[in-house]
A and B are shown apart, each in its own frame.
Chain A
Amino acid sequence: MSEDKEKISAWLDDAIPSNELDSLEVDHHARSFSTVARYQMIGDALRGRVPDASMIDISARVSEAIKREAEITSTARPAAASRREKAPLFDFGAWLRPVGGLAVAATVAMVMVVTLTDQQTETNSPVAANVAQQPVQSMPVSNTVPAYTQPGLAVPAVNLNTYVRQHSEFAAQDTIQGMMPYARSVSYGSENNPPSNKAIENRQILIIPRQ
């Protein structure tokens, strides 16, 4: 995982071509996405590519960035030390560590710049204020999103038909597209893996033939 982080970081800094990322062992359970997102943010800040967008809860972001960078440095060191013994030719970890402190500063700087360039986007509309929920940190309006997946990842087959049906039926109520969600729901039955009888029967009410 530590090597993965270093590769991601090097790629974001244009130090390695993107196809080298194919060797990444992406951990889908947890950290890969947040790692890439964090490194993307740091890399963008270092290169001055700061998105013109608004962010929410800036103080929380600053403290979170500092906390996360502390975690990165503390967890990366043992792995890097271990790797040095096996691969003395080139040590990405040794290259990365001095950047850590700078990255924290750069992240903070980026957040400050974003604050200054905040020109847009109303997020707390009167309608939104009616929702009884905790405030949610909105993601910035940006046309770039971090890369987080690798092609060819093996995803086990999971029957999501019940979820898809419930999603489609609720979506039809909350969007303006009328029958489109229902049409999608019907069309899912023509996929290669049509819903099983068991999946169909897992509905609120089932009507079965008379004996």
Chain B
Amino acid sequence: MKIGAAAFLAFAVLNQAPAHAGNLSDIVSGMSAADKRSNYEGIFVLRKSDKMTSMHVVHGVDDRGVWESMEALNGEARRIVRHNNEVVSIYPDRKLVTVSKMGDKRGLHPILPENLDRLANYYTINQAGEDRIAGRATSVLDVKPKDAYRYGYRYWLDDETRVLLKCDLLDENGAIVEQMMYTAFYNHADVPPTAFNVPELEEYTRKTLNEGAARQADSNWRPGRMPQGFMLTQSTERSDEGRNTLHLMYSDGLASVSVFIEPVQSSTHRLTGASNMGALNAYGRQMDNMQITVMGEVPEATVVAIAESMERLR
């Protein structure tokens, strides 16, 4: 019965889309799939609070998966090259290149489009007309949360590729807390493989540190209270110099919240109380000699509520 009600609700929401702009479900699904099928290049700006960052991005797909290069154009020189779940970070001024391997960790829950109907339970999704971004025609989606425990979103999706060309993140009062917008965007048939070269790899020597790879872990920690719709998507443990850090990741399909738990005595992240960086809110506390840190692009109330309710099953 409940499944039927949810399906009806999703159907009702999705059918609010004007016919000329395409089916809303197709648009949202296309946004999810664009990452896995599009070749493009562009420059976008990211604004968080009063800070702006400009980046050059190249995105490509081949038979080995998804490639992405993202280079910051202001501030300290830095570049990220991502190949599927491997992220290479390059800091030229420091002559540092780091590689972070996430391994093949599939989420515990399918994301869109398989789970699209779930979103209608927690967000109201409407088409909000059309607009022009970076010289291209876009469809605008307005995604409003149904409670105060998650942010709202406004998406501008390229009509041709469904790539996200502009994104506003809205707080519980409707104020913009983060904005991303392309100022130039070029859709390519193919992206030259050289776009993802990391010449620094030729000059530098690789050294493996002691930090252990993240591995799936069963946890006896859980939040006593959790905003509806957030489900556990990752549960991993990482060992670093004898210190084990548990990382629980919860997501509702749009927003993600991380819970980090590690022994207080060895923790280098002893946050007590609330902190934030742009749209990212964090809250830390100590419990049973463990440091609990909760963070995510969600309202402060959400990270506080989750952190304060964390409990260890005996």
Q: Which residues of A contact B (CB under 8 A)?
A: 28-30, 33-34, 37, 121-128, 130-134, 136-146, 148-149, 153, 155-156, 158-160, 162-167, 169-171, 173-191, 194, 197, 200-210
Question: Contact at A207–B308, with CB atoms within 8 Å?
Answer: no
Question: Contact at B286–A203, with CB atoms within 8 Å?
Answer: no
Q: Which residues of B contact A (CB under 8 A)?
A: 2-3, 5-6, 28, 31-32, 34-35, 44, 46, 48, 51, 53, 55, 57, 59, 68, 70, 72, 74-76, 78-80, 82, 85, 87, 89, 91, 94-102, 105, 107-112, 115, 118, 121-122, 146-149, 163-164, 167, 172, 180, 200-201, 203-209, 211-214, 218, 222-229, 231-234, 238, 240, 247, 249, 251, 253-256, 258, 260, 268-275, 277-280, 282, 284-286, 293, 295-297, 299-301, 304-305, 308-309, 313
* CA A162 to CA B268, docked complex, whole Å: 10
Return B272 CB to nearest CB of chain A, in Å: 6
* CA A160 to CA B2, docked complex, whole Å: 41
Question: Contact at B226–A136, with CB atoms within 8 Å?
Answer: yes
Question: Contact at A122–B207, with CB atoms within 8 Å?
Answer: no
Q: CB-CB < 8 A to B75: which residues of A?
A: 189-190, 194
Which of the residues A160, A169, A194 comes within 8 Å of B295, measured between beta carbons?
Answer: A160
Number of inter-chain CB pairs below 8 Å: 302
Residue of B nearest to A173 (CB): B107
Return B101 CB to nearest CB of chain A, in Å: 6
Besides A148-B301, A187-B46, 19 new A-B residue pairs in contact (Cβ under 8 A), listed by A number: A28-B272, A29-B272, A125-B6, A137-B224, A139-B305, A141-B146, A141-B147, A158-B271, A160-B295, A171-B258, A174-B109, A177-B254, A184-B280, A200-B91, A204-B212, A205-B101, A205-B207, A206-B98, A209-B203
Question: Contact at B108–A131, with CB atoms within 8 Å?
Answer: yes
Question: Contact at A202–B32, with CB atoms within 8 Å?
Answer: no
Q: CB-CB < 8 A to B91: which residues of A?
A: 200
Question: Contact at B269–A158, with CB atoms within 8 Å?
Answer: yes
Question: Contact at B249–A149, with CB atoms within 8 Å?
Answer: no
Return B89 CB to nearest CB of chain A, in Å: 7
Residue of B nearest to A194 (CB): B76
User: Can you list 15 contacts pairing A with B, beta carbon distance less than 8 Å?
Assistant: A33-B305, A33-B308, A123-B229, A137-B309, A139-B305, A145-B149, A146-B301, A158-B275, A163-B282, A177-B164, A185-B80, A190-B53, A204-B209, A209-B203, A209-B205
* CA A206 to CA B76, docked complex, whole Å: 19
Return A131 CB to nearest CB of chain B, in Å: 5
A-B CB proximity, top 10 nearest: A190-B75, A28-B273, A171-B256, A145-B301, A178-B35, A167-B258, A187-B53, A176-B32, A207-B97, A122-B2
